[in-house]
Amino acid sequence: MKLVVFNTGRVGALLDNASVIDLNLGYASWLHEKGEVRPYERADLLVPSNMLSFIEEGQNALDLSEKIISWAQVKNSIGPMGERLLFRGDEVKIRAPLPSLQSRIMMAGSNFWDHARDGLNVRSEKQYTIDEVKELVEKGEKKPWGFWKQAYNVIGPGEPITYPTRTKRLDYECELAAIIGKPCKDVSEKDALSYVYGWTIVNDMSCRDHPSDVGLWVEKNFDGSAPMGPCIVTADEIEDPYSLGIKQTVNGELRQNGNTSDMIWDYSYWISWLSRDLTLRPGDIICGGTCSGTAMDQTPRHQGTTDPKLFLKPGDILEATIDKIGTLKNHIITK
């Protein structure tokens, strides 16, 4: 199922014809037809209109939603008080599927073989191969690392990214994001994926001017630095998260073209590693890194600086696409 947050922040299911059904009102309508005297109250409990609450209801809410979708499409019903249940794609505003502002967003750093190679090459005179990067990992000389993004920096599909005044080198990274569905702590790698509720896209925006000076916290966090969406695809719809194509275009020009099969440390590793002594909660988000093709990857540092040519500029249009999820489109504006 493809879940979206739409209009005033309600949970809907995105159908194959791009229309959206309001799942909470759909269930209330179904209950009303069955004679339930308090359909809204029951619907709010079992099929909540809020994304985090919906995720917390787990498989039961999804099972009920499947029934609602089939029923509403056949009957094209309205809610108990005449509310619309079904909307055409051009009638809805799709928002970021961020479960809540309390959601923690963890970002894996330099976690694709080609991106790790490129990151080493733009910073040193030696030109590494992927095989040499693998040797560094095997020897423990390249270790896993990451950083956190603030949920307040999330924006949705079609929303503008305000160009930060502090940078002249704004960069992009298309990433597959795992949404945690159940509380988990000290999880084994074997069991880790069973805690994933679904998947979405995050475009990790970065200020690349002087990353070693300002630190990742500043480089990676600013208003609009975490575009997310367009939907959450539930885990049952993606049997293998390690075979998904990743693409990013800038003004229609293909910049990134990779696959999640090239991840160094997989989601099982990250979930297990992060959950040591820390309870991951429903709605928490883990992004697995990106493939080669960022502006930084393609711009070697020379005499302490980089050519700004390939970095983003006001007016640019970004389209981040991942197989089975869709395309996240945003554009760059000035203040």
Q: What are the pLDDT digits (tens) for 107-162?
A: 999 999 999 999 999 877 789 999 999 999 999 999 999 999 999 999 999 999 99
CATH superfamily of 105-333: Fumarylacetoacetase-like, C-terminal domain (3.90.850.10)
Q: How far is CA 91 from the centre of its chain?
A: 23
Residues near 210 by beta carbon (within 8 Å), at least 6 away in sequence = none
Residue 237 has pLDDT above 80, yes or no: yes
pLDDT band of residue 207 (cuts 50, 70, 90) is very high
Identify the residue whose tokens are 């009102």: 25
* Chain mean position to CA 101: 14
Span 272-306, pLDDT tens digits: 999 999 999 999 999 999 999 999 998 877 766 77
In which element (H, E) is residue 249 found? strand 245-250
Residue 253 backbone phi and psi in degrees, to 5: -90, 125
At residue 216, the pLDDT reads 76
> Taking the model in full, what pTM does it have?
0.96
Smallest Cα–Cα separation from 323: which of 221, 238, 236, 219? 238
Nearest to 23 by CA among 59, 76, 72, 74: 72
* More confident call, 57 vs 216: 57
* Identity of the residue numbered 174: C
pLDDT at 73: 80
pLDDT bin (cut points 50, 70, 90) of residue 238 is: very high
Confidence of residue 214 (pLDDT cuts 50, 70, 90): low
Residue 38, pLDDT > 60, answer: yes
Assign 114 to helix, strand or coil. helix
Compute the average pLDDT of residues 84-90. 93
pLDDT in tens, 312-327: 999 999 999 999 999 9
Q: Where are the domains of the chain?
A: 2-95, 105-333
Q: What is the 3-state secondary structure (H, E, C) of 53-89?
A: HHHHCHHHHHHHHHHHHHHHHHHCCECCCCCECEECH
